[in-house]
Amino acid sequence: MCGILAILGSHDASPARRDRILELSRRLRHRGPDWSGLFAGQKCWCYLAHERLAIIDPASGDQPLYNENKDIVVAANGEIYNHEALKKSMKPHKYHTQSDCEVIAHLFEDVGEDVVNMLDGMFSFVLVDNRDNSFIAARDPIGITPLYYGWGADGSVWFASEMKALKDDCERFEIFPPGHIYSSKAGGLRRYYNPAWFSETFVPSTPYQSLVLRAAFEKAVIKRLMTDVPFGVLLSGGLDSSLVAAVASRHIAGTKAANIWGKQLHSFCVGLQGSPDLKAAREVANYIGTQHHEFHFTVQEGLDALSDVIYHVETYDVTTIRASTPMFLMTRKIKALGVKMVLSGEGSDEIFGGYLYFHKAPNREEFHHELVRKIKALHMYDCQRANKSTSAWGLEARVPFLDKEFMEVAMAIDPAEKLIRKDQGRIEKWVLRKAFYDEKNPYLPKHILYRQKEQFSDGVGYSWIDGLKAHAQSHVSDQMLKHAKHVYPYNTPQTKEAYYYRMLFEKHFPQQSARLTVPGGASVACSTATAVAWDKSWAGNLDPSGRAALGCHDAAYTENSAASSTSTVAAQENGHPKASFSKSKSIDATVLTPQAVH
């Protein structure tokens, strides 16, 4: 990842202005510690500042980047995976670097604003055309990379990778929406990414083909092995990260990436001592043969990091902060090893309905529409967590599940095939599990392939959330929570934990524009109002943890196992969510094998 800051329409060429822009750009240097660049346009009507994390062409790929005549300038954050293919399909150009992002400037010279439709990757960029003093800004289809935009008192338009670079100098700022382009010529935003499945009224009907889905995902993982620096994979031991690791491990030998840090894939996991993720990740790593790195943290270390986490991730959302903190701590350890890029498993739950409340989906239509709503919100939750938690220490996270081509395949599948049917042995995300079930050449052990969902904040150790709640309890009184609506009338916190995070957020970001960038509404069971609509019994639960869906956990699949069902129910009645979660591997595998669904 990199950090970009752009100011357009300023017409301020004073030394003080340049110094201020350099100062604001330094706020983004954690995203790109390798080099800094600044372009000042004619009569300084525009500034493009860039903080670089060098992944491709570390020697000569500094930004901003230019076309041949240097009259088109671009500052970009992200990776363009199809840059080589684009170069072959375009008319000949003279390239100044081997950077994958330089192709944006040359492609714009050829096709103009249609450039955004031809890019395959994760990206946010601002491009200035000095031939007519126009500019565009764009963000990738799902919002894997962050981007904000704002307006200065002098009429200037600002863009930045993180709002910390805008908060003090813009009268107002907002999240730049994913899949959109801002054009100075057109006078504003327009959506460029709008596939058929993106509509909340369309319901796909393509029959499920397991091998087609498998091939699409393998292609998505392989293209993300494009790197000139040491890399690895985040491995929690759950289905999604394990599949990413398994596919990458199979394909790394013989590739260019294999020469960067040996032929053995490196994997990384974090957790409290004895956490479920550490145990499962160790087993997966041993099975697929990665060089595994296991990091531990204490609850106190996590609590001590909360203010820094909120500053970097730029949110007060409870679930995001719970999950971001272990990831933030792990990233620092990973960067200390010299690693600059990791693969991660975000996006699978939104594409396949992996959250436990999807058990309650009443039909294929509502199932699919909820998937679309969750995908559209990813940029405010999992994408924000994964990107900013890692970028805080100059590490890039790549997410194969959110590959544009893979999503076209996965989201075209008839949602009836994705429905959770315990009477047929269909666990959540069974279409993905079945796609990688291979008896002759297994990708993963069967019980890992069918390991049930746990939220990252639960999997790193159950006492983590308990510790957060206890810490908030000691800092927020009953009286404070009682009057929360007067102190925080927008997005009023409903719990002491939420109130505590809000206090930390307001210290860093006191602006109203900052508050408005965080999704609204009180947390509800399974962190979505849809869950309540599907099951009214969840309406009063303010805990967004996976524990809110205990009734959907092991007990959902254990009708053939009276002992397991009894244990789960007893654990819930006694108030011990840990006990019920700990039985996630005791599910009868014979019920869950792909053959059972036919």
DSSP letter at 451? P
Tabulate helix, strand, coil % of the chain (nearest 5).
45, 15, 40
DSSP collapsed to 3 states, 265-298: CEEEEEECCCCHHHHHHHHHHHHHCCEEEEEECC
Side by side, the strands of the sheet bearing 291-296 are 291-296, 266-271, 231-234, 341-343, 396-398
What is the spatial distance between Cα 429 and Cα 449, in angstroms, rounded to a whole number? 10
- Kindly give the pairing relationship between strand 180-183 and strand 188-191: antiparallel
Phi, psi of 372 (to 5 degrees): -65, -45
Q: Which residue has the tokens 């059972």?
A: 596
DSSP letter at 112? G
What is the spatial distance between Cα 254 and Cα 260, in angstroms, rounded to a whole number? 11
What is the spatial distance between Cα 351 and Cα 344, in angstroms, rounded to a whole number? 15
What is the spatial distance between Cα 589 and Cα 492, in angstroms, rounded to a whole number? 44
Going by C-beta distance under 8 Å and a sequence separation of 6 or more, which residues neighbour residue 354? Answer: 239, 240, 348, 428, 429, 453
Residues 371-382: b if buried by 16+ CB within 10 A, e if exposed: bbebbbbbbbbb
Annotation-wise, does 100 bind a ligand?
Answer: yes
- What is Dmax (Cα atoms) for the chain? 77
End-to-end alpha carbon distance in the chain: 44
Q: Are 384 and 145 in contact (CB under 8 A)?
A: no
DSSP letter at 491? S
Burial class for 96, CB neighbours closer than 10 Å (0-12, 13-18, 19+): middle
State which H helix or E strand residue 122 sits in: strand 121-129
Of 451, 454, 456, give the one whose Cα is nearest residue 427: 451
Of 428, 345, 448, 483, give the one whose Cα is nearest residue 597: 428
Of 410, 85, 396, give the one whose Cα is nearest residue 223: 85
Annotation-wise, does 344 bind a ligand?
Answer: yes
What is the spatial distance between Cα 227 and Cα 3, in angstroms, rounded to a whole number? 19
Q: Are 402 and 346 in contact (CB under 8 A)?
A: yes
- Is 44 assigned a catalytic role? no
Annotation-wise, does 345 bind a ligand?
Answer: yes
Q: Are 217 and 248 in contact (CB under 8 A)?
A: no
> Which residue in 2, 101, 383, 552 is the catalytic one?
2
Write out the binding residues: 100, 234, 270, 344-345
- Give the active site residues: 2
Annotated binding residues for L-glutamine, written as ranges, equal: 100
Binding positions for ATP? 234, 270, 344-345
